[in-house]
Amino acid sequence: MFNNRTTDGRNNICGINVAKLRKALKGYTEGATVLIVAQRVSTIMHAEQIVVLDEGRVMGIGTHRELLASCKTYREIAESQLSKEELA
């Protein structure tokens, strides 16, 4: 699910635009199940549930906090992408 390779143009959306997009979609997705496929932890860190995949295998399921504590794959990715303040 996460990697450091750029696979398509969507990876070039800056964090500000991602936040604007999420805000714009919120009204349309209220009460719906939403599936987000992301390479950036910042895009999904506030999700109710995150599923971490590595080469098609489930490595962990949980919230951002739960995965930081229990999933080595997620923790390594988060540490490589987020500041110490964001990880706290």
Cβ atoms of residues 4 and 41 within 8 Å = no
What is the distance of C-alpha 46 from the center of its chain?
8
pLDDT in the model for residue 86: 86
End-to-end alpha-carbon separation of the chain, Å?
A: 23
Q: What's the pTM value of the predicted model, to 2 decimals? A: 0.71
pLDDT in tens, 57-76: 999 999 999 999 999 999 99
pLDDT in tens, 3-58: 444 444 445 556 667 778 778 888 888 888 888 888 889 889 989 999 999 999 99
